[in-house]
A = this chain, B = another copy of it.
Amino acid sequence: MNRTEAIAKLINPRSIAIVGASAEFHKVNGRPLKHLITKGYKGQILPVNPKYRSIADLPCYPSVDALPVAADLAVVAVPAKDVLPNIEALGRRGVRSVVVFSSGFREMGADGQTMEDALVAKAKSLGMVLCGPNCLGFINAFSNVYATFSQYADGETGPGPIAFVTQSGAFGTAIAALARQRGLGLGYFINTGNEADVSFSELMMAVIEDPRIRVAAGYLEGLSNGRELIELAHRCQVLDKPLVLTKVGRMESGVRAAASHTGALAVTDTVFDAAIRQFGVLRARNEEQMLDMLQALANPRRAVGNGLGIATQSGGAGVMMADRAEEIGLTVPTLSTETQTRLAGVMPAFGAFGNPVDVTGEFVARPELLRDSVVALMDDPNVHVGIVWLQLMHAYVDTLVRIFAEIRDRTNKPLLVCWVAAPSEALQRLRDAEIVVFSAGERAVEAAHALVRCSEFRRRSVSIPRPLDRSSIPDDAKDGLQPTVSAVKWLGDAGIPMAPVMLAKSADEAVKLWQAIGSAVVLKVESPDITHKTDIGGVLLDLNDEVPIRDGFLKLTRTVAEKLPRARLDGVIVQPMVRGELELVMGVKRDPIFGMVVMAGLGGVLVEVLKDVVFRIPPFDTEEAERMLRELRMSALLDGVRGQRGIGRRGVAKMLARLSCWAATAESSLAELDLNPVLVGSTGPIAVDCVMVLKRK
């Protein structure tokens, strides 16, 4: 049984042993048994506890060794110190999937970490997959598997199209309870706890394969393997199932708090955010936005464009929604003449036929007015998702539910109803009719945006370019700062535009190189001990005559001797003087979570203040590089570069894509690369300085 099979068995077991089972059903170790029995689990339930002969008419086994079968899953609910021996026993008994509730591991500090390491080592040696420790366990609501003590299980947990995996037990339980309040059904509820062995991404990867699951939602506090998450995002894309993630630790203090809370390696949020955006994951900023998105995404209808049609009974609410739509990049299109004519035919004179359409309160008297105007709006070719806003109307629930059902049947576009201060009966009846309903206008707009983003990503070519066949960095290159001439050559070989560099060992050589170049040059000190040449005055610009070049060479060698007497000096780099209209920076770094990461940003003093940089996971193609550049706040500057139309933006995107293909093959050796500045002129971008540091893995 491989790991994937073991995880599949874990989430859908035909038999469950509960190690440390209690007959006291309110306790942590009694609750799984209670739920399995009362909610009708069809498989075999095998309580293990020497204190009992039987619990609730089920035979109870005195020890793991006494189990009559090798259960598909074991739930371990014993004190921390007893976990390891039980895991050993389970291994002996042939059990390959366990969930460990017990706390007292990594979250308790160094001693706990040692115990957890031992636990993982044991599980691995036994070929066992382990969820937890320090977790609430999980629910597979389709098969009534309640391997959990979460309070969420106390209420109705009817299955539904959502798979929800959470790193937090308490917050995850709250989110699940809120989902239930909104009538959203969870097919799976999984708390991963310490993730000592099985990770968030692995468990989510398993549950999204279930054909009854339509959408995946996750709550994250940290991440130890970014590549796994990217594979998950890919798989969701292939299966056409949206993935919505909420991750806390967006800000510095949050990251700090998250690190101290989970003990997990804190993820750089900007890299995380860029990576999931690149791979089509929707990020919800908090639990409420996550649930708003899930409401829209759990419905099978998808938007085929980004046009939002809005109908309201309040002009102001329409304006508020139009504001929010514009802010997040939806269009609120002007309606076609045909649509406007249709609307004029059904609406009162004092309504508004634009978009938002203001149907006014008049529809109370003439319900068909609401139906006909919304259907006309939805039929408009530029409208891809519709929102109808209304409020109160406690006396008209029957009529309105009927009308919304009629509208639903007359369009195949997604329709979101926003009913503010609605009668609770109305919400339930609309949900029963599979009509998505929200309680606030901006929430509906943000949910519409999730539908649109989801479809936009689906329409994208997900062609990931091939990385280079092999790294252009030679196998025998040593760790540390690389000689500029070598680094420039390796990058140039990979098709990355680099200003040529040559090394002069003497002033005479420098002059000869200048003569060969035939135009103004730059001189830079070259030393394996000097990373930031400018800081020590190690760069001289725009020299174009023999005397200044000769003087320059001497000045640079003197500067190094004075300021950094211990630095080894290899010579002076001679490079043609390049000018550009715009200054960029590009870089590559090895992220502990996501591996290679490519960065691009705008250079110069203003941008040091703005910190206007964007990230992507390599390799990526030119289209992705263009999207990346559009995320820069100063992106418009790229269009200001003269030369062939658009050469600035397109040329920079091409260079970035090439850099990404190079970076993807360099993971085993590259620690960091800085191209700063990259100058963009009328012939395209070119890197004029390069700092490359290797550190073999």
**Given that A250-B327, A314-B170, A322-B253 are contacting pairs, would A637 and B442 also be in contact in the complex, using a CB cutoff of 8 Å?**
no
Contact B170 A261 (CB under 8 A): no
Q: Bound state CA distance, A421 and B286, in angstroms?
A: 15
**Given that A103-B350, A168-B314, A315-B261 are contacting pairs, would A174 and B391 also be in contact in the complex, using a CB cutoff of 8 Å?**
yes
Determine whether A178 belongs to the interface, using a CB cutoff of 8 Å to chain B: yes
Determine whether A633 belongs to the interface, using a CB cutoff of 8 Å to chain B: yes
Contact A634 B605 (CB under 8 A): no
Contact B221 A319 (CB under 8 A): yes
Contact B352 A260 (CB under 8 A): yes
Contact B610 A633 (CB under 8 A): yes
Contact B174 A354 (CB under 8 A): no
Copy number in this complex? 2
Q: Bound state CA distance, A286 and B420, in angstroms?
A: 13
Distance in angstroms from A162 CB to nearest chain B CB is: 16
Closest to A325 in B: B253
Contact A286 B442 (CB under 8 A): yes
Determine whether A251 belongs to the interface, using a CB cutoff of 8 Å to chain B: yes
Distance in angstroms from A344 CB to nearest chain B CB is: 14
Max count, chain B CB within 10 A of own CB: residue among A167, A316, A323: A316
Determine whether A609 belongs to the interface, using a CB cutoff of 8 Å to chain B: yes
Residues in chain B near residue A260, CB distance under 8 A: 352, 354
- Within A158-194, the residues touching B (CB, 8 Å) are 167-171, 173-174, 177-178, 181
Determine whether A526 belongs to the interface, using a CB cutoff of 8 Å to chain B: no
**Given that A318-B261, A319-B248 are contacting pairs, would A181 and B637 also be in contact in the complex, using a CB cutoff of 8 Å?**
no
Determine whether A317 belongs to the interface, using a CB cutoff of 8 Å to chain B: yes
Contact B313 A637 (CB under 8 A): no
- Within A232-284, the residues touching B (CB, 8 Å) are 248-254, 257-258, 260-262
Contact A316 B361 (CB under 8 A): no
Contact A322 B251 (CB under 8 A): yes
Residues in chain B near residue A637, CB distance under 8 A: 605-606, 609
Q: Bound state CA distance, A361 and B171, in angstroms?
A: 11
Residues in chain B near residue A107, CB distance under 8 A: 350
Residues in chain B near residue A261, CB distance under 8 A: 315-316, 318-319, 352, 358
Contact A171 B421 (CB under 8 A): no
- Within A578-633, the residues touching B (CB, 8 Å) are 604-607, 609-610, 633
Residues in chain B near residue A177, CB distance under 8 A: 391-392, 420-421
Contact A323 B174 (CB under 8 A): no
Residues in chain B near residue A168, CB distance under 8 A: 314-317
Contact A262 B315 (CB under 8 A): yes
Q: Bound state CA distance, A328 and B457, in angstroms?
A: 31
Residues in chain B near residue A354, CB distance under 8 A: 257, 260
The count of chain A contact residues (Cβ–Cβ below 8 Å) is: 76
- Within A275-317, the residues touching B (CB, 8 Å) are 285-288, 313-317
Identify A288's interface contact among B151, B258, B440, CB under 8 A: B440
Distance in angstroms from A613 CB to nearest chain B CB is: 15
Contact A314 B634 (CB under 8 A): no
Determine whether A32 belongs to the interface, using a CB cutoff of 8 Å to chain B: no
Determine whether A541 belongs to the interface, using a CB cutoff of 8 Å to chain B: no
Determine whether A441 belongs to the interface, using a CB cutoff of 8 Å to chain B: yes
Distance in angstroms from A556 CB to nearest chain B CB is: 26
Determine whether A381 belongs to the interface, using a CB cutoff of 8 Å to chain B: no
Max count, chain B CB within 10 A of own CB: residue among A168, A251, A253, A320: A320
Distance in angstroms from A285 CB to nearest chain B CB is: 8
Determine whether A477 belongs to the interface, using a CB cutoff of 8 Å to chain B: no
Distance in angstroms from A3 CB to nearest chain B CB is: 27
Distance in angstroms from A259 CB to nearest chain B CB is: 9
- Residue-wise, chain A 628-653 has the 8 Å CB interface mask toward B (1 for contact) of 00000110110010000000000000
Distance in angstroms from A26 CB to nearest chain B CB is: 9
Determine whether A692 belongs to the interface, using a CB cutoff of 8 Å to chain B: no
Determine whether A523 belongs to the interface, using a CB cutoff of 8 Å to chain B: no
Residues in chain B near residue A324, CB distance under 8 A: 286
**Given that A261-B318, A315-B261 are contacting pairs, would A391 and B350 also be in contact in the complex, using a CB cutoff of 8 Å?**
no
Contact A316 B167 (CB under 8 A): yes
Determine whether A487 belongs to the interface, using a CB cutoff of 8 Å to chain B: no
Residues in chain B near residue A361, CB distance under 8 A: 170
Determine whether A567 belongs to the interface, using a CB cutoff of 8 Å to chain B: no
**Given that A323-B248, A323-B249 are contacting pairs, would A108 and B316 also be in contact in the complex, using a CB cutoff of 8 Å?**
no
- Within A322-370, the residues touching B (CB, 8 Å) are 322-327, 332, 349-350, 352, 354, 356, 358, 361
Q: Bound state CA distance, A421 and B287, in angstroms?
A: 11
Q: Bound state CA distance, A67 and B661, in angstroms?
A: 88
Determine whether A219 belongs to the interface, using a CB cutoff of 8 Å to chain B: yes
Identify A440's interface contact among B262, B286, B420, CB under 8 A: B286
Contact A253 B349 (CB under 8 A): no
Distance in angstroms from A78 CB to nearest chain B CB is: 17
Q: Bound state CA distance, A327 and B254, in angstroms?
A: 10
Closest to A316 in B: B168
Residues in chain B near residue A356, CB distance under 8 A: 257
Contact A248 B103 (CB under 8 A): no
Q: Bound state CA distance, A254 and B318, in angstroms?
A: 8
Closest to A315 in B: B261
Closest to A420 in B: B174
Q: Bound state CA distance, A253 and B219, in angstroms?
A: 34
Distance in angstroms from A173 CB to nearest chain B CB is: 6
Closest to A104 in B: B350
Residues in chain B near residue A420, CB distance under 8 A: 174, 177-178, 287
**Given that A320-B286, A352-B261 are contacting pairs, would A327 and B173 also be in contact in the complex, using a CB cutoff of 8 Å?**
no
Distance in angstroms from A186 CB to nearest chain B CB is: 14
**Given that A260-B354, A634-B609 are contacting pairs, would A171 and B316 also be in contact in the complex, using a CB cutoff of 8 Å?**
yes
Residues in chain B near residue A219, CB distance under 8 A: 316
A-B contacts, 22 listed (Cβ < 8 Å):
A151-B394, A169-B314, A170-B314, A171-B391, A174-B420, A219-B316, A250-B327, A253-B323, A254-B322, A257-B315, A260-B352, A261-B315, A261-B319, A262-B315, A286-B440, A286-B442, A288-B440, A288-B442, A604-B606, A606-B606, A606-B634, A609-B636
Interface residues of A (CB under 8 A from B): 103-104, 107-108, 151, 154, 167-171, 173-174, 177-178, 181, 219, 221, 248-254, 257-258, 260-262, 285-288, 313-320, 322-327, 332, 349-350, 352, 354, 356, 358, 361, 391-394, 420-421, 440-442, 604-607, 609-610, 633-634, 636-637, 640
Q: A221-B316, A610-B634 are in contact. List 10 more A-B contacts (CB 8 A).
A: A103-B350, A221-B315, A221-B319, A250-B323, A251-B323, A253-B325, A257-B354, A258-B315, A261-B315, A261-B318
